[in-house]
Amino acid sequence: MDLSDNEKRDIAKFIEAGKPLPDKYRFLLFDDKREVELVWNGKTSEVTNAVLPFQVIEQIDEPRSEQDIKMQGTLFDISGRQKSGWTNKLIWGDNKLILSSLKNGPLRDEIEANGGIKLIYIDPPFDVGADFSMNIEIGDEQLTKQPGVLEELAYRDTWGAGADSFVAMIYERLALIRDLLAPDGSVYVHCDYRLTHYIRSVMDELFDKDRFLNEIIWQGAVGDTSAKNKKYIKSHDTILLYSKSDSYIWNEVFQAYGEASNRLYKTEDAKGKYQMISVDNPGGGGYSYSFGKGERMPANGYRMPRETADQWIKEGILVVEAGKVPRRKQYMNESGVRCKDVWDDVSSSVAKEYPTQKPEALLERIIKASSNEGDIVADFFAGSGTTFAVAEKLNRKWIGSDLGKFSIHTTRKRMIGIQRELKKAGTDYRAFEILNLGKYERQHFVGINPNLRDEEKQNQIAEKEKNFVSLILSAYKAEPINNFRTFYGKKSARLVSVGPINLPVSRLFVEEVIKEATEKKITKIDVLGFEFEMGLFPRIQEDAKNQGVDLALKYIPRDVFDKRAIEKNQVVFYDVSYIEVKPHVKKNSLAIELVDFSVFYNQDSIKEVEENIKNGGKKLVVENGKIIKVSKDKNGILTRDVLTKKWSDWIDYWAVDFSFESKKEIIRTKDDKGKVEERWTGDYIFENEWQSFRTKKDRALEFTTTYKELPKGRHKVAVKVVDIFGNDTMKIIEVSI
């Protein structure tokens, strides 16, 4: 450091006055000078190193059997079988914690044993105006499902401070992605004009600018074409490609000949006795095909027999249509031309089950170029699972995650569908499992000032948590209590515990609540939460009941943040869903019939909607587990129409494990010396043996499973139902065979 006396005095004055130093001093004080650096408010080089255990919630080994299953036979047809070895992984949760746990935890060993992650594609939420709302089909209508609180908070974390908070979010995740990639791996980041410049600067800093390979322009959906929009029409997204090192996987990929370079021109002689079709050659020059007897031949052409031309037309290779310029079809499995960095041949048109869904052709090109068969491909903003769908079809292994339950559920259905397709076609496939983080570290409460010192942060966290609990208790009409570890309020004869605002209520959280209840002879408790860990109930309720505790789990509605709703007593805390099933025993075989399902959701207020809706308008409202269409005609006459006319309207998916408790749920952790330890959580993995679900094309459901032959004795059977909002509920019954 070489500072003049004047510079030293100026720096001292700024510090004494408590003022920030001008940028020029930052470069004078520190030797690490980057040629170009992206700086944002709150920038830090610290990246989380949390290592949290993964719990397997559900395993899908085989798509359902269409016929009754016999013990003596195989569970699957002679066509298409499940591959042994690696099991694909779909993880629900915050991808920052997931990436950190993958990088530093015991699952890393399994990843490395399978060659490491060779390709990561991510499509982060780059649209500042987007949110986590979803359109859900209810008959001929669409209900806009509001985002869950966790999703809303994630969105606020991403965009709360505009570009600053987005860059902070993506910086930490890309740093973890870089460290998780195999040495010969590469990463594709999908973005658009709003953030391309920021993300490229971040990636230059994290990967080094020499690792930049391509800026791919994908001409996908066309933006606003209105004449009022006084600028060029937006018609592309950007995909940035970086490698981990100089030695990265690369397989040459080809584009089909474009329309301009594949145009054929038709000519006839004066008497119309013959026709000539010439084809532009992208390599220069041209090819010509003449039909019938021609008196002259182009310099670089050749004569094609009429029967050959007819055969090409018959095969659909050569298309000649009256009044149109003929053209030759070129398919993607033909060599075509080397792929350029402008992709105008991949249509964005796709039947979407998820708002940001990308076409499979886009991911097919990426996966083929930057991975080989048997490699692991990853996506940590999974959306509808397009990356995994293509990876499975191309014989790649996959791993990925998403924060949204609806996303995880959509991906689960999609991957089961692909398993069925591959099995039917006689192609092998892999099992996949659904995981989540079994134990969350205590995170900073939403809204904490990141620029505070640690002690000040902790004080602010404590104050905000206190205010949060007070708000929830007030909305729940419970009176505050003290001197308990896990209980904060009392309502009638029941003590009340409140889960965290920014995390799902986990099994370990509820176990601590039950432990204090048994210690202090408390028999009735309510646990309130915005979100519950997948697979949490009903097992946890059974465990509580066995210890003499009546445990009720209740969802906290979003309305708690609306003071008007609290004042008007409109906040309703609803119970978890209810399932009723009926077993059918035939000799030594069992089938399960789903006979009832109840939900208790609320979204929006009918009264408020009716007050604010305009003439000729309509809106769907959820009230006490019913979806109601509120309409107002041109004369201002209001009508209500209940769309969920029967219990089955709420069901999107259901599955059965005929032998629940046959596979223990094991978590793996590392001790201080790096030794891997395995521990049974006391629960079991749901093995998905039979399932029925709705798709965009087929909205029908089956309500009785095929029969499965079982050994004589008592069996525990688990039934899982996922509702149209993506929330799962499970019921366990005992059946004697």
pLDDT at 601: 85
Q: Does a structural domain hold residue 516?
A: yes
Domain C-terminal end among 368, 403, 437: 437
Is-contact 595 581, C-beta < 8 A? Answer: yes
pLDDT tens per residue across span 148-177: 776 776 776 676 667 888 888 999 999 999
Greatest C-alpha distance within the chain = 105
- Closest alpha carbon to 689 in 594, 591, 595, 602: 591
How far apart CA 719 and CA 691 sit, in angstroms, is: 10
Domain C-terminal end among 328, 348, 363: 328
As to burial, measured by CB atoms within 10 angstroms (0-12 exposed, 13-18 middle, 19+ buried), residue 571 is buried
Q: Does a structural domain hold residue 447?
A: no
Shared domain for 128 and 233, answered yes or no, is yes
Cα separation values, 403 from 150, 257, 409, 506, Å: 8, 40, 11, 15
How far apart CA 501 and CA 505 sit, in angstroms, is: 9
How far apart CA 462 and CA 452 sit, in angstroms, is: 14
Is-contact 487 496, C-beta < 8 A? Answer: yes
- Closest alpha carbon to 713 in 695, 691, 736: 736
Neighbours of 244 (CB within 10 A): 23
Q: Does a structural domain hold residue 639?
A: yes
pLDDT at 410: 92
Cβ partners under 8 Å of residue 201, min gap 6: 36, 37, 38
pLDDT tens per residue across span 505-534: 988 899 999 999 999 999 999 999 988 887
How far apart CA 278 and CA 154 sit, in angstroms, is: 57
Shared domain for 393 and 292, answered yes or no, is no
Shared domain for 303 and 358, answered yes or no, is no
Q: Does a structural domain hold residue 117?
A: yes
Shared domain for 591 and 694, answered yes or no, is yes
Shared domain for 501 and 588, answered yes or no, is no
Q: Which two tokens stand for residue 294?
A: 């021609």
Cα separation values, 227 from 80, 236, 470, 555, Å: 54, 19, 52, 47
The predicted model scores a pTM of 0.79
How far apart CA 258 and CA 541 sit, in angstroms, is: 61
CA angle 682, 688, 689 (to 5 degrees): 125
As to burial, measured by CB atoms within 10 angstroms (0-12 exposed, 13-18 middle, 19+ buried), residue 514 is buried
Q: Does a structural domain hold residue 47?
A: no
CB crowding 415-442: b at 16 or more within 10 Å, else e: bbebbbbbbeeeeebbbbbbbbbbbbee
Shared domain for 555 and 601, answered yes or no, is no
Query: Residue 318 belongs to what domain range?
Result: 264-328
Q: Which two tokens stand for residue 372?
A: 């080989």
Report the domain count for the chain.
5
List of the chain residues with pLDDT < 70: 1, 23-24, 26-36, 63-80, 127-132, 150, 153, 156-157, 159-161, 221-222, 224, 256-336, 350-355, 438-454, 457, 461
pLDDT at 578: 87
Shared domain for 624 and 693, answered yes or no, is yes
Q: Does a structural domain hold residue 76?
A: yes
Domain C-terminal end among 437, 463, 480: 437
Shared domain for 351 and 216, answered yes or no, is yes
Shared domain for 563 and 583, answered yes or no, is no
Shared domain for 61 and 204, answered yes or no, is yes
Shared domain for 420 and 515, answered yes or no, is no
pLDDT at 21: 76
Q: Does a structural domain hold residue 248?
A: no
- Closest alpha carbon to 361 in 375, 374, 347: 347
How far apart CA 246 and CA 664 sit, in angstroms, is: 43
How far apart CA 247 and CA 243 sit, in angstroms, is: 8
Cβ partners under 8 Å of residue 429, min gap 6: 80, 82, 83, 392, 418, 419, 422, 423
Residue 623 sits at φ, ψ, to 5 deg, of: -140, 120
Shared domain for 419 and 316, answered yes or no, is no
pLDDT at 605: 81
Q: Does a structural domain hold residue 461?
A: yes
pLDDT at 113: 96
